[in-house]
Amino acid sequence: MRSEHLQVSAVAPGRVEILGNHTDYNEGVVLAAAIERAVHVRGSVRHDGRIALKSTSYPPVEIAISQLRPQPGEFSWANCPLGVASELLASGISIRGFSAAIESDLPAGIGLGSSAALAVATAFFLLKLNECELLPLELAKICQRSEHRFTGVQSGLLDQVTSIFAKTGQLIFFDCRPEQVRTIPFPDELALVVADSGVKRHLAASEYKQRRQETRAAAQALGVRALRDISPAQLNADMDLRALLRRRAAHVIGENQRVWRAVELLQCGDGAGLGELMNESHESSRRNFENSAPELDHLVDLARKQRGVLGARLTGGGFGGAIVALCRKASAYQTARDLASAAVQTFVGRPADGALARN
């Protein structure tokens, strides 16, 4: 029986994309890790059919469940949790009114999956509060739809999957076509250093949408359902593809190849090989996909010069945001300090656990 005074908390981590840049919406493969920065949602049931949201960073929002819709202007920060509530209702989950406080130590707008973490934390909170359950992948898709419909960002599924399925000390391998998830051990002697370039990303209004259109156009021109169906040799053999679309396709096709290779290397504990693939990925982002930025390139170049760093690349959608460096654990904190002069903030971590909720 439902408790009328139930207090629930939920937490969902952000993520770093290790390899697989812009492959998720092209039915490709991705390698990612949850990080030790997260979104926390805490609250309880209301009895008036209303939702009340508050945050330490934004103005409070209150709305009736029966009137759920995207909020404008300074209240748009709440669209992600409101969208989750709307999608759960549309999926047949009975959601009661609730009050929730949202806190986060996960930086927003720098490519670490902050909006997905907020959606996942809200979903875990609401399912626990209403004593309901959903399969993890189904829940990831609900969170994805909430972003599509309430925030206008046509994101792939990687961020939500990583936040939900993540395990300590494990990377998440996600094959986006069959939607299969498995974990890959992360070498014990390695760590991840994240550095924020200070250039904010605004995916709904950025070139992200354009890149989706370009990769779709490349697949159509090559006569395939998605770019994962083309090998590098097949791409090179097609002389008719426009130069711009060729570069976009080369990035996605190459990223898929790098992810598959990384899985092989990690099974052998080859961290140095993974670092080289990360370096290759960033060069492809810079040259072929043009989703880097001078500030990101500078941080990547600086990171590669540090002792113990095996590789570095932008992480997430690009066009600003953060980089991730793979380095020896013993050198990680010194690397973070050395990058701090060129970054807004830096932090060190290893793959973390996924989302959870508790009373």
Catalytic residue among 24, 48, 105, 159: 159
Closest CA to 303 of 277, 287, 289, 323: 323
DSSP structural state of residue 187? P
With H, G, I as helix, E, B as strand and everything else as coil, classify residue 351: coil
Contact predicate 10/41, CB 8 Å: yes
Q: Sign of the CA dihedral 168, 104, 293, 22?
A: positive
Residues 6+ apart with CB under 8 A from 224: 230
How far is Cα 44 from Cα 46, in angstroms, rounded to an integer?
7
Residues 6+ apart with CB under 8 A from 62: 50, 51, 52, 53
With H, G, I as helix, E, B as strand and everything else as coil, classify residue 87: helix
Q: Sign of the CA dihedral 107, 109, 112, 118?
A: positive
DSSP structural state of residue 231? -
Task: Write out 56-74 in H/E/C secondary structure.
Answer: CCCCCEEEEHHHCCCCCHH
Contact predicate 114/50, CB 8 Å: no
Residue 159 designated active-site: yes
How far is Cα 260 from Cα 268, in angstroms, rounded to an integer?
13
Amino acid type, 306: Q
Contact predicate 39/80, CB 8 Å: no
β-strand pairing of 50-55 with 98-104? parallel
Task: Determine which helix (DSSP H) or strand (DSSP E) holds 237, and give its type and residue range.
Answer: helix 232-237
Could you give the residue numbers annotated as active site? 159
